[in-house]
Structure 1
C-alpha cells in the first residue's frame, strides 16, 4: 500500500475567502473590427454547432500581474480591433431567420463586440494565489452575453483593472458559435497582436479557416437537429435562441453555498498514476493511459468518494476534438465547433473499491476507443436525447483541455497568473487546463459545496492506492 501526494490545498477558512468581491463598472463600450475590414460575413451553423444551440455560454477568466496598469486598456482595445479583422464573426450575431432552415451567424458592417471596463481594489495577490474561493467571487469579472429569443451575440468581453497590481480579461462566448479550440486561437491571436503590435502577421496556426463545406453531412444531421430544436417545448416552429435552463439531473451546485477549488496534477504525480494502473493491469496493455485519461479518472474517483454517491452507476461525459478524426480530416484552424461527445460509464461500487482508478481508466478507455469504431454513431439522438441522466447516481462532465495551453497566452505582460473556466459554477463540469507552473502538469477546476470540496481536498492530497 502506498500513499501518493499531489499538489493540493488546505481546508478553506473564513479568513481565506473573499465574499462580495467589489468591482466598479467604469464603462461599457463597443469595439469594432478595424476600418477597412470586409463589410460582412455569414456562416450557416453546422450540425456540430447546433448541438450547442441553447447551451450555457462559456465564461473564462485570465489574470495578469503588472505594476504598470496605465497603458493596459489602450493596448488591449487597439489590438482587439485589429484581431477582429481576422475573426469577424465574433463581432457578429446569431439569428434564425424565418426563411432559413438553420440559424445563421452573421457579421455586418457596424457590428461590434461589447467590452465592459471595470476597476477593483480587491487584494490582487490573494485573488491570484488562493486555491479556494467562494464560487460567486469571480462572477463580477466576466460579462453577461446579450441573448434574446431573436438574437444572440457571439461574444462579450470584460477588462478589470486592479490599479498598480494587474488586470483580468473575462470572456463570455456562445457555444453554438465556437468550441474551446477556436476560442483559444482567438485569444492567442489577440495576445500575439497585442504583444508584437503586428496587425497582419498572424502565425498560420492562428489564422481561422471558415469554409463550412469541409464539414460533410450526408445523413442530414443539420436539418434533423434544426427540426428537433424547433419542436422543443411542444412547439413546431421554436426558433428561440434563449439559453435553456440547466437540467436538474445535472446537479450543478448552488453557487451561494459552494466554493471554487483548483488542484494541480504534477507530471511526476501523473506518472505515478500511470505506473499504478500498469502494475494492476500487467496482462492488459490496451488501456488508454494518456494524461487526459489518468487525470480524468483520478478526479472522477475522488468526486464519487467525496460526494458519497449511492447510485448503482455513475457517468463521465467527455468531448473529443474531431477535426483530425473526420473523413476526410478538416484543417486544425477550422472556425466553429467540431466536438464529439462520449460517455464513460462505471459501476459506483467499482469506483469506490480498491481498484477504483483502474475501473475509471477502463471506462474512459472504452469511451475513447468508441471514437475509432464510429465517430458519429448514434448522432441522430444527440440533440433529442444525448443521455438519460436518470440512469446514473451522478453524471460528471469535462470542460476544456490541457492541450489548449492557456498559460502560454502572453499579451505582453508574460504568462497569466491564473486562468479559470468560470461557467462551471453553472454547469457543474470539471475544468481541465495546463498548469500555471508548467512542467507538463495539469490543473483541475471544481465548484462544489463546502463539505464536498473539503472531502475532495483530503482525498486528492493523499488518496490511498492499494
Structure 2
C-alpha cells in the first residue's frame, strides 16, 4: 500500500511495568469478555499538533516521557502487559501476566502533515492505517505506536487493544491515567478494579458464548489488526453535531410526536445524534436499495456496570456491555421531512428500553445470534461514545487535534465521540467510497435544512 512507504520505523521495543515486584497474576475472562475472542482489535488514532518550539530535542523528550509514563500506568493496568491463554488444566480463558511481560511500543516517522490527517475530511483511510500498530503474535492484548509527523509538527499516537481485554470504558480509563501521569496532573483518575469474580454467571453464559471455540487455546490466534488491507478509495469524514443542532433534532422529534399523538419520550444528545445519522445514512443509500419494505437495523452498546445485580464499580476493568438492536423499515427510516427522524428515534428508544428492562437478562444467551441476524439483514453499528471524553486525553502537549476510530473506518460503522470544542456536541465519523461520500454529504445538508439549521 502506498501510504506504508511513507512510514519509517525508528525502533520497536517492549515497555514493562515500572514496579519490578509485581507478582504473576491471572485475570479470568468473563462471559462479557469471551464473546470478543474471535473479533478484531479496537484501533484508535490520536493526532496532536506540536507548537513551533518543539524542535528535535523536545520531540525526543516527549517520546521518552510517553514511554516512562506508560511504564508507570502499567503498574495499575498490568494485566494489559500479559496475554490471553487457556488456564492450565482447564477450558477457561484468562488474561495472564508474569514478570517480564510488557507492551509493544513502536516509534516511527511519517511523511504526512498533521493538518491533512486531522482534517474533517474526507481523508483516505489508507493514509491513517499505518499509524495504528498491529498486535504482536501470541494473543497480546495491547500495542502502541508513537509517530512523529512531517517536520516534527505533529505526533500521532496509535492505540490497538483487543476487545477481549476490555471495552471502551476500560481502554479510555487506561488512556486518561497514562495521560495524567505524563502531564503531571495533580488529580489522578481512580485506579481500575481488576476483580473479575465480581461478575456472576448463574445462567452459564460463558459456556454458551464459547461454543465453537478451539479446544486447544494455544492453537487460537487473535486477529491482530482491523485495517491490514484498506481500499485506496475508502474515505472517512467527520460530521459534528453541535449542541444547537442536537437541540433542533430534539425539538423536531417532539413536534413529530405531537403530530402522531404519541407521548413525548426523553431524548439524550447521544440518542439524538444516533437518530439523525441513521436516518441520513439510509437516505443516502435509498437509491441503491431494492425494496421499500426491507428492514434495517441499528446496533449500539449499553454499559451494564450499574445495572448488574449486584452492580459493578464504575471503574471495573473489563467488558460489561450488552448490544441494543433497533429495527425499522427502510421506507419509514427514509420518509420525507422529519418523519424519518421520528421512525429512527422510535426504534432506537424502543431498543434501549428493552435492553435495560428487568427481564432482559433472560435473553442474553441469544445476543450473539441476534447480532448475526441483524448483520445479515443489514445494519449500522456504533463505535465509541461521547462519554469517554477522548478529546481530554492530554499528555502535556495539548488536547488532540483529532481522534479517529480507525478500526471503525468502514462502511456501516458509526464512530462517535465528544465534540472536540467541548461544547457538549457529538462528533461522528463515517466511511464511504468517494461517490458515496458526496451523496451522504448532500443528504446530511438536506436533513439539516429539514430541522431548520
Q: CA deviation at 1:414?
A: 1.7
Rounded to whole Å, the distance in 1 between the matches of 2:8 and 2:443 is 38
1:144 aligns with 2:95: no
Distance change (3 Å), C-alpha of 1:19 and 1:287: farther
1:284 maps to 262
Distance change (3 Å), C-alpha of 1:254 and 1:395: farther
* Counterpart selection for 2:199 from 215, 239, 248: 215
Q: CA deviation at 1:371?
A: 2.1
Q: CA deviation at 1:286?
A: 4.4
1:371 aligns with 2:349: no
Q: How does 1:57-136 map to 2 (within 5 A)?
A: 57-66=41-50, 67=52, 68=54, 69-97=59-87, 99-136=89-126
Q: How does 1:230-379 map to 2 (within 5 A)?
A: 230=213, 240-243=219-222, 255-282=231-258, 283-308=261-286, 309-311=289-291, 312-354=294-336, 355-373=339-357, 374-379=359-364
SS of the residue corresponding to residue 388 of structure 1 reads helix
* Counterpart selection for 2:17 from 28, 33, 54: 33
Q: CA deviation at 1:112?
A: 0.6
1:396 maps to 380
Rounded to whole Å, the distance in 2 between the matches of 1:306 and 1:427 is 12
SS of the residue corresponding to residue 60 of structure 2 reads coil
Q: CA deviation at 1:256?
A: 2.9
Rounded to whole Å, the distance in 1 between the matches of 2:375 and 2:356 is 28
**CA offsets, 1:83-118, max 9 Å, x none?**
100100111101124622221101100101001100
SS of the residue corresponding to residue 83 of structure 1 reads helix
Q: Is the 8 A contact 2:26 2:94 kept in 1?
A: yes
1:182 maps to 170
SS of the residue corresponding to residue 95 of structure 1 reads strand
Rounded to whole Å, the distance in 2 between the matches of 1:358 and 1:438 is 27
Q: Is the 8 A contact 2:86 2:217 kept in 1?
A: no
Q: CA deviation at 1:451?
A: 1.3
1:229 aligns with 2:217: no
SS of the residue corresponding to residue 164 of structure 2 reads coil
**CA offsets, 1:48-88, max 9 Å, x none?**
00121111100001011113123211110110101100100
1:170 aligns with 2:158: yes
Q: Is the 8 A contact 2:254 2:264 kept in 1?
A: no
Distance change (3 Å), C-alpha of 1:390 and 1:384: closer
TM-score by length of 2: 0.89
Q: CA deviation at 1:23?
A: 1.6
1:196 aligns with 2:184: yes
Q: Is the 8 A contact 1:230 1:239 kept in 2?
A: no
Rounded to whole Å, the distance in 2 between the matches of 1:178 and 1:128 is 27
1:380 maps to 365
Q: CA deviation at 1:245?
A: 11
Q: CA deviation at 1:165?
A: 0.8
Q: Is the 8 A contact 1:19 1:134 kept in 2?
A: no
Count of paired positions:
431
Distance change (3 Å), C-alpha of 1:59 and 1:79: same
SS of the residue corresponding to residue 253 of structure 2 reads helix
Which one has a larger percent helix, Structure 1 or Structure 2? 2
Rounded to whole Å, the distance in 2 between the matches of 1:123 and 1:461 is 29
Greater shift, 364-373 or 129-138, is seen at 129-138
Greater shift, 294-303 or 97-106, is seen at 97-106
Rounded to whole Å, the distance in 2 between the matches of 1:406 and 1:20 is 26
| Structure 1 residue runs without a partner (length 5+) | 1-17, 247-252
Q: CA deviation at 1:274?
A: 0.4
Q: CA deviation at 1:196?
A: 0.3
Q: CA deviation at 1:242?
A: 3.0
Distance change (3 Å), C-alpha of 1:386 and 1:377: farther
TM-score by length of 1: 0.87
Q: CA deviation at 1:418?
A: 0.5
Rounded to whole Å, the distance in 2 between the matches of 1:370 and 1:243 is 33
Q: CA deviation at 1:244?
A: 6.4
Q: Is the 8 A contact 2:136 2:224 kept in 1?
A: no
Tell which has more relative contact order, 1 or 2 (C-alpha 8 A, sep 6+). Answer: 1
Q: Is the 8 A contact 1:32 1:84 kept in 2?
A: yes
CA RMSD of aligned residues (A): 2.4
SS of the residue corresponding to residue 404 of structure 2 reads strand
